Structure 1
Amino acid sequence: MADAPENTSESTARDYRDTVFLPETPFPMRGGLPQKEPVILEQWGDLYGTLRAERQKQNAPLYVLHDGPPYANGDIHIGHALNKTLKDFVVRSRFLLGYDVDYVPGWDCHGLPIEWKIEEQFRAKGRRKEEVSKDEFRRACREYAGKYIDLQKDQFHRLGIVGDFANRYATMDFTSEAAIVAEFHKFKNSGQLYRGSKPVMWSPVERTALADAEIEYHDHVSPTIWVKFPVTAMSDDHPDDLLAFRSSTPSIVIWTTTPWTIPANRAISYGPEIAYGLYEVTAMEEGLEFAPWAKPGDRLILADKLAEDVFKAAKIAAWTRVYDINPSGLETAHPLAALDSGYGFSVPLLAGDHVTDDAGTGFVHTAPGHGADDFEVWKAHGHHEVPDTVDPDGAYYPGVPLFAGLKVLETEGKKTGKFGPANGAVMEKLIEAGNLLARGRLEHSYPHSWRSKAPIIFRNTPQWFIRMDQPLKSGDTLRETALNAIDATAFHPVAGKNRIRSMVEGRPDWLVSRQRAWGTPLAMFIDKQTGQPLHDPEVDARIVAAVAERGADIWFTAPDSDFLGAHDPARYEKVEDILDVWFDSGSTHAFTLDPRLPENGYTGDRPAHWPADLYLEGSDQHRGWFQSSLLEGCGTRGRAPFTAVLTHGFTLDEKGEKMSKSKGNTTDPLTIIKESGADILRLWVALVDYSDDQRIGKQILQTTVDAYRKLRNTVRYLLGALADFDEAERLPLDQMPPLERFILHRLHELDAQVRAAYAEYRFQDVVRPVLEFCAGDLSALYFDIRKDALYCDRPDALRRRAARTVMDEVFMRLTAWLSPLTPFTMEEAWTTRFPDAGTNCARVIPDTPAEWRNPAEAERWAAINTVLEVVNESLEAARREKLIGGALDAWPTVTAPASAFAPFEGLDAAEIFRTSGADLVEGETISVTVAVADHPKCARSWRRVPDVGSDPAYPDLSARDADAVRYWDQTHA
């Protein structure tokens, strides 16, 4: 039957509607999730505690997901929602698979974004940062971070995230700061820490050094200049006439995109394998709107491969190559020497492997204070003094000739982050000195701070580093230990391994010091006589104990003598730099997992294990938290603090563009939750391929809502069909009809798929097959075929009992399988049916009997479906032509080869076709002729069958329906 039967047209006929067993359930069709979910959250209470207690009673194996800490500064955004939901999928699915899951949410609290917010707050009160004590400033930062921890915690809770929020960690907790200091001391005392003066990435806007993980690249237009360095000296093996009187002294030409670094130039690097030549200009381009700086007679030394490109930039029309040049042994004057004696030093030519002839001139302007390669080649040739040219604010120091005080980058006002006047001033002086050959502009990728979004510079400054290439106690270097740990780690997706491996292979020493206020200090003392850190276990212990009791602020307020004990404070310098925040977050395993290890003396009821089973973050964390955790663990414990790493992509708008508040294309997760419910957002996460970038927007969310409706309606139908089901109805497998055996087989198949997908974190491979099962096997096939039996068979009929037995098995598995993904809806469904059975979240997936596996039945129904599709198309055509009103009006004749009918053996074809009857006739191809069933219509089931009226007591019913009504009448007398 198609739906509930209508009354007959005869006024004297009985109304049989009360005798039809229609589905009944209080579970509504509309979810009403925004109103219902908060009620469910209240009912759950301490769900995480409940789940852990349940699993510990069962002595379940422990699984540890260590939380990468979000930053505590603002409402959660869609990236937070994706990340935390994926983590919740892991936590809930591991509980579902029978594990005891340890998951402690945490927050990253130190760092510049909060520091800037507090600076703004003080400025609004008329106070500059310099006028605020470090103690007061840090206290304000701590209060700010605490406010947003509480806010985000509530928002994550509303999203349905399950974790040990009552014992959450934060990097600013006193015990956390003490643990971070203790981890730092391990590097200090092992000899891996050193102070070095070298060019580092420096943010003038933030006034601090930055590490690779704090850099992002944006397109930027830079000025480009070709600069002449006049040759002043040469070795004996050069041609005699190189410096002989000619119309022009030869010049080596360099090319750079950072004119502001010319005052810091101390050398020129060349490539030993590159072919160079001396070229003489013979003619300039004509008809130019400006006078070029080159002129006939100029002699220029260039890489042969790049000479033509240089001439084009300088508007040189013709030239002569005079002879080969070997740059070794040449010396030049600084291009600004003629304007100020401060540049009167000689500029040597240095061989460097970093020089190529792919672009530029084949020579590299070398400013050892402003470039890593420059610094290394300068040091490699025996030079030790590195000039300091630019101060922490990005301005030239007072002692820089011609340019003192000029800004490289603006750090205040509306132009903050823009390049200042330094570039222009240097180019003007090069023109005045007659040594600017050409200039232009170049759009290229330029490093910016990921926090301030402002460009950075390379600047020589004393900093603290952790060595990557010094052997540890194991004999391997930190780099080698980390690479071995990467090879021993499982990556999801596997491409993550190569990505982080290449980063670790090529990364420089770990820069761990920062020149800011809000963070964990490098809490150590330096011996002023030796310049080395103090190694004294008692001093270290006093520092750690003080920080644990009063927080890291004590380092800045307590007198040195409180820590130094018997040591003379006058001999030691207190380091007040703070640690790289990545060192903070990279140490989180040390204060969330280690303290709860039984071997470390933990006696509580919730031990953890180290290393964690999984770290899960965005793919950008290969250069961030994954890497800092890897290096921290390898440097202090000889291995990574994780055994597996899972990464997800970024969330884009519906067009695939990066979200931006200025573009107005952001999607607010809190708005989605308010309007549609958390389960809709969670289902979107489950449906996307999280390993790649995902898209979200109104249209995509509507598709998610449609998928949700299918799941909800499936569960609702099951609840209605299973009303008052009890164990006495249950039918054993050997009494099941073929259709039920097929559905049980599908459950067996899906169960294996779901378990494997959850185990491998393939959440899309859980929800998509389940959705297809609901829409195809259940709704379009099973429910439709069994609707007549459910509604109209008498309650004790084997066919009806079989259907209800199988539907019970389906319900028990659907509500379990989908519980990690849409926990609110599955909880609502479970408690609707079993209000006193406890939370659905505490269940494990029911065992699925091996005997349900039935490939032969699957094969049979695949073949039946081939015929059924043709029948359905024909019935639909007959409906369109108004030949029939519904399928029960039809009596089709199906013609097909005998092989096509073989699967129908023992089955009622009309039941499968949902028609009143059917005739199967052998023929060569499958075809269908639809005729109207030429029999009376049963007033209860609407079937047009020959036995309507065969029971005199019920003349308007079929024999089956008459039997069912008689049973009804007897039981309701």
Structure 2
Amino acid sequence: MSDTPFKEQQDRYRDTVFLPRTSFPMRGGLPKREPDTLARWAAMDLDGKIRESGKGRPVFTLHDGPPYANGHVHTGHALNKVMKDVINRAHRMSGFQVRYLPGWDCHGLPIEWRIEEQYRKAGKDKDAVPLLQFRAECRQYAGEWVEKQAADFRRLGVQAEWANRYVTMDFSSEAQIVDEIGKFLLNGSLYRGLRPIMWSPVEKTALAEAEIEYHDVDSTTIHVAFPVITDPTPARALEGVSAVIWTTTPWTIPANRALACGPDITYVVLRVDEVTQSSLVPLGARLLIAEERIAPFCAEARISAYHTLYTLPGSALEGVICAHPLRGRGYEFDVPMLQGEFVTTDAGTGLVHMAPSHGQDDFVLCRANDIEVPELVEDDGRYAPWVPHLAGVHVFKAADPVCDLLTEARQSAEHDGAPATGLMVRGSIRHSYPHSWRSRAPVIFRATPQWFIAMNGKNHLREKSLKALDNVTFVPAAARRRLTSMIEQRPDWCISRQRAWGVPIAVFVEKRSGDVLRDPAVMKRVVETVREHGADAWYSTDPAVFLGPDRDPADYDQVFDIVDVWFESGSTHRFVLDQEGMNFPADLYLEGSDQHRGWFQSSLLESVGTMGVAPYKALVTNGFVLDEQGRKMSKSLGNVIAPSDVTEKLGADILRLWVLNSDTNEDLRIGNEILKQQGELYRRLRNTLRWLLGALDGYTAAEAVPYASMPPLEQYILHRLSELHGLVARAVETHQWVGVYPALHGFCTTDLSAFYFDIRKDAIYCDDTSDLTRRSARTVLDVLHRALCTWLAPVLVFTAEEAWQDRFGIEGSVHLEQFFEPDGEWHNAELGAKWDDIRAYRRLVTTELETARRDGTIGSSLEASVTLPMSQEEAEQFGLVDWAELLITSHAEIELLPGETPHGGPQVERAPGEKCARCWKVLPEVGENAEHTHLCRRCVSVVSA
């Protein structure tokens, strides 16, 4: 053997080793690289090429739910848009034509509120600004934010027809919305009625349930006594008795017009015998409450002794009439006792005070019994001028004055020896209370004349909507019950708002009769005018133009309420999905879980009400975004992660990878540490692509080896690839992507980098270019590159493009490719099970190799010789496996043991021989060749060729 130092021999043969070469950098540099890619896509008109390539294919349509155009996108927006983009791209790459038209909701209070904020800061009075000028400012503001948000979404890599976006404030959109309102008008579903609805005193408008959020507040609670004045019960059991109610809204007492009891609840009349010094309850008072509520009531009222006079069922209270507790103070109302199935004994006294102006159950029960619904609270939350003693007081400041009035009533009754009346107990409770999600201010239930779409009635909207959902797929499946229960329980749809910026409810009401005008010709003229001039035309056009020559405008009131923005967004399917290359119903709607009470629901009701079908075939729901501690993001907590911050520091692909590595069916967490983890996962994927590209340097189709001629290891890797293809294909079909990309990452790290690549480096680097094993491996690497680039493309849109163009040139794009399709013969479950066993045994041996390395027996696995004791059955089970190749050792042999003789673990020794300067294997044959004294036989044959 030559005396030339080993290092010099290594250098001598370095150029004969086929080391990976690629221009694909190890570091992604995404924040700088991604904008360049976007610019290149724009220059090559990639969006146009994508649309052109889809023509003639089966159509898949995901209809975009429109976000509000009033601020930079947040992480929830990014989550939603990335999920949509992944699904759209995956369908395109699965052979579908996909047109994605992004949309924006441009009307309504969110935008109007921002303009008013600007007015307030400038000291301007909104009411002094002409209506059309105000609407123009809203339009300009919304338009600016549409462009800004579109730029934010494009930076995230979202592919869409940005030049063909839809907005609800386009004239054509406004006309279609007016037309949809007209359809409900003409089919008799639209009506004006007085009902209690969620009302914002700050914003002075009705609100939808979807515009409400709940916060904990401290409220004053009161127990109030209503003296019985008509007693039809047997033996006049209620003579001298007072019915006691409990409420958390003292301000609703002036609106009380009835009481409700439960027909199946047992009630008692108890006489108060002793009270503590702080009690407000008069001694000797006779009080009617539910039997189950005696103990908690007496504790709160500080009643220390009592006894029961009568027990009677709630059904026996039919016909009982009480006096209003403020009788004699301007509230001269009889208060009948009504039977209410909704009454429970979970809290309070088992008797409920009914204020039909301020509660849904109250309203329904009182109207069913022909009881008036008073209007006592004005749009700013103050009592009306005609409310005795409380005129001008804001309802949220009414607890003290109402309690003062009730205290006076109690004291007067005590002085006169009359039955107990007025305030019996005052307390407080911390509970969840509805607030406007824009102003963050509490709301009230308030009965006002509003425009409604009937859920029942002759058009059976509720029944038809529930039936339509039978044919809708829900992801996750549990979401079905959430939406159906909301449809089952919801009241009539209040679609009117008392604001300025929006699409008007463009109808006329006859002054003489109060009937809404249902004339198709009038409706058609309104729609045509709005289509030409926009919704502003409703405010600027002479009503005679709409009414026509046969009607006198003086006979009609023109309605200026605007329509609920949820009706607008629910109508978008009518002016988006009727375009060429799109499906109606849409194949998919995808939004956050809050949209079961928002867009999912309004779209369903609108479409069923006008078209008779649901506007979607499937609904996918994603969770909310929380911080790393599971808290809601807020500026006050300083835990907001903005998409722009992530793209500037890490790149959009990292944010996209976070989305698809998360369980989007549940709430998601994000923060700097989580993003750091995603960066590490991204690095491993990128390194996989980089090694593939390097190892494929110079590869041509002439090297390809047919599957049947490949070694078993290559066949196994192709089997694993076919399994992953099945996972991707199922995700495309079911829209359920949770777990898919973690599985791809696991494949890259565990199956490839830590197993296949590690094993095949020797053949790829050191075998002759004509060697079957090397050619087979490079054939599989070609397949892996094509498969991984296309499968990763929907998520890592920039990185997959970079890895594709690094090999095939910048003229093409991975986003114009189809998903890689494995050959059917690659899937071999028997082969897969066999290799699972081989890999399990290999892990046992590598553990022994690591032990030998740590104790100094060997320096690396290539310095080892391994003896593997196996039974005949084990040896046959594993087949003809080259264990030295699989274990990356220089030598391995099987020691066959008789029968089922117990045997010890693998034996690791230092391999005999010298180290090859080219492949580093330790073999006795090194030194045999006089010309190449530091090479093994394999390497000699390669360098001598």
TM-score when normalising by structure 1:
0.93
SS in 2 for 1:278: strand
For the residues of structure 1 that align with 2:236 and 2:761, how far apart are their CA atoms?
Answer: 105
Partner of 1:422: 398
For the residues of structure 2 that align with 1:756 and 1:704, how far apart are their CA atoms?
Answer: 25
Residue deviations 1:248-304, cap 9 Å, x none? Answer: x4211111111111111122222232222222111113xx4x3x2113211212222
Partner of 1:970: none
SS in 2 for 1:268: strand
Structure 2 counterpart of 1:875, one-letter code: L
Partner of 2:527: 544
Structure 2 counterpart of 1:844, one-letter code: Q
Partner of 1:414: none
- The alpha carbon displacement at 1:10 in A equals 6.7
Contact persistence 1:758–1:766 (CA under 8 A): no
Contact persistence 1:889–1:943 (CA under 8 A): yes
Structure 2 counterpart of 1:322, one-letter code: L
Distance 1:828 1:767, change over 3 A: same
Contact persistence 2:197–2:446 (CA under 8 A): yes
For the residues of structure 2 that align with 1:579 and 1:895, how far apart are their CA atoms?
Answer: 80
Partner of 1:128: 125
Q: Could you tell me which of 604, 607, 619 is aligned with 1:630?
A: 604
Name the count of aligned residue pairs: 921
For the residues of structure 2 that align with 1:827 and 1:840, how far apart are their CA atoms?
Answer: 6
- The alpha carbon displacement at 1:948 in A equals 1.5
1:565 aligns with 2:548: yes
Partner of 2:670: 696
1:909 aligns with 2:883: yes
1:272 aligns with 2:248: no
Partner of 1:734: 708
Residue deviations 1:119-152, cap 9 Å, x none? Answer: 1212333321110111011111111111110000
Residue deviations 1:832-868, cap 9 Å, x none? Answer: 0000561101111233111212333323322222331
Partner of 1:331: 321
Structure 1 counterpart of 2:571, one-letter code: S
Contact persistence 1:8–1:15 (CA under 8 A): no
1:885 aligns with 2:882: no
Distance 1:926 1:69, change over 3 A: farther
Distance 1:856 1:227, change over 3 A: closer
Q: Could you tell me which of 804, 809, 815 is aligned with 1:835?
A: 809
1:284 aligns with 2:283: no
Partner of 1:187: 184
For the residues of structure 2 that align with 1:36 and 1:926, how far apart are their CA atoms?
Answer: 55
Q: Could you tell me which of 955, 960, 963 is aligned with 2:933?
A: 955
Partner of 1:941: 919
SS in 1 for 2:914: coil
Distance 1:438 1:745, change over 3 A: same
1:159 aligns with 2:156: yes
SS in 1 for 2:783: helix
Distance 1:636 1:13, change over 3 A: closer
1:402 aligns with 2:392: no
For the residues of structure 2 that align with 1:540 and 1:928, how far apart are their CA atoms?
Answer: 87
For the residues of structure 1 that align with 2:523 and 2:357, how far apart are their CA atoms?
Answer: 34
For the residues of structure 1 that align with 2:465 and 2:485, how far apart are their CA atoms?
Answer: 11
Contact persistence 2:98–2:581 (CA under 8 A): no
Partner of 1:302: 289
Greater displacement, 179-188 / 794-803: 794-803
Structure 1 segments (4+ residues) deviating >6 Å: none
Note the 1:525-924 alignment, pairs <5 A.
525-566=508-549, 567-594=551-578, 596=579, 606-835=580-809, 838-923=812-897, 924=902
Structure 2 counterpart of 1:54, one-letter code: S
Contact persistence 2:200–2:436 (CA under 8 A): yes
Contact persistence 1:95–1:101 (CA under 8 A): yes
Task: Using the aligned pairs only, state the percent identity.
Answer: 49
SS in 2 for 1:16: helix
1:84 aligns with 2:62: no
Q: Could you tell me which of 338, 357, 360 is aligned with 2:348?
A: 360
For the residues of structure 1 that align with 2:609 and 2:7, how far apart are their CA atoms?
Answer: 89
For the residues of structure 1 that align with 2:89 and 2:393, how far apart are their CA atoms?
Answer: 58
Q: Could you tell me which of 443, 457, 464 is aligned with 1:456?
A: 443
Partner of 1:239: 235
Contact persistence 1:72–1:148 (CA under 8 A): yes
SS in 2 for 1:764: coil
Partner of 2:413: none
For the residues of structure 2 that align with 1:774 and 1:633, how far apart are their CA atoms?
Answer: 45
Greater displacement, 755-764 / 629-638: 755-764
Contact persistence 2:237–2:310 (CA under 8 A): no
SS in 2 for 1:446: strand
Unaligned runs of 5+ residues in structure 1 are: 1-6, 244-248, 409-418, 597-605, 968-973
Structure 1 counterpart of 2:560, one-letter code: E
Partner of 1:521: 504
Structure 1 counterpart of 2:325, one-letter code: P
For the residues of structure 1 that align with 2:126 and 2:76, how far apart are their CA atoms?
Answer: 32
For the residues of structure 1 that align with 2:774 and 2:125, how far apart are their CA atoms?
Answer: 80
Note the 1:31-430 alignment, pairs <5 A.
31-45=28-42, 46-56=45-55, 59-235=56-232, 237-239=233-235, 243=239, 249-285=240-276, 288=277, 290=278, 292-324=279-311, 326-338=316-328, 340=329, 342-383=330-371, 385-408=372-395, 419=396, 421-430=397-406
For the residues of structure 1 that align with 2:581 and 2:711, how far apart are their CA atoms?
Answer: 50
- The alpha carbon displacement at 1:811 in A equals 0.9
For the residues of structure 2 that align with 1:735 and 1:572, how far apart are their CA atoms?
Answer: 86
- The alpha carbon displacement at 1:903 in A equals 4.7
1:490 aligns with 2:487: no
1:447 aligns with 2:431: no
TM-score when normalising by structure 2:
0.95
- The alpha carbon displacement at 1:636 in A equals 0.1
Residue deviations 1:915-951, cap 9 Å, x none? Answer: 1112321343351222112202211111111222233
Contact persistence 1:897–1:926 (CA under 8 A): no
Contact persistence 2:75–2:642 (CA under 8 A): yes
Residue deviations 1:649-682, cap 9 Å, x none? Answer: 1011111111111111111111111111111011
Structure 2 counterpart of 1:623, one-letter code: R
SS in 2 for 1:549: helix
- The alpha carbon displacement at 1:167 in A equals 0.6
Distance 1:238 1:887, change over 3 A: same
Structure 2 counterpart of 1:334, one-letter code: H
Contact persistence 1:861–1:903 (CA under 8 A): no
For the residues of structure 2 that align with 1:34 and 1:26, how far apart are their CA atoms?
Answer: 19
SS in 1 for 2:435: strand
- The alpha carbon displacement at 1:876 in A equals 1.1
Distance 1:961 1:446, change over 3 A: same
- The alpha carbon displacement at 1:761 in A equals 1.9
Structure 1 counterpart of 2:440, one-letter code: K
Contact persistence 1:73–1:145 (CA under 8 A): yes
- The alpha carbon displacement at 1:9 in A equals 3.5
Q: Could you tell me which of 7, 12, 18 is aligned with 1:21?
A: 18
- The alpha carbon displacement at 1:241 in A equals 7.8
Distance 1:904 1:300, change over 3 A: closer
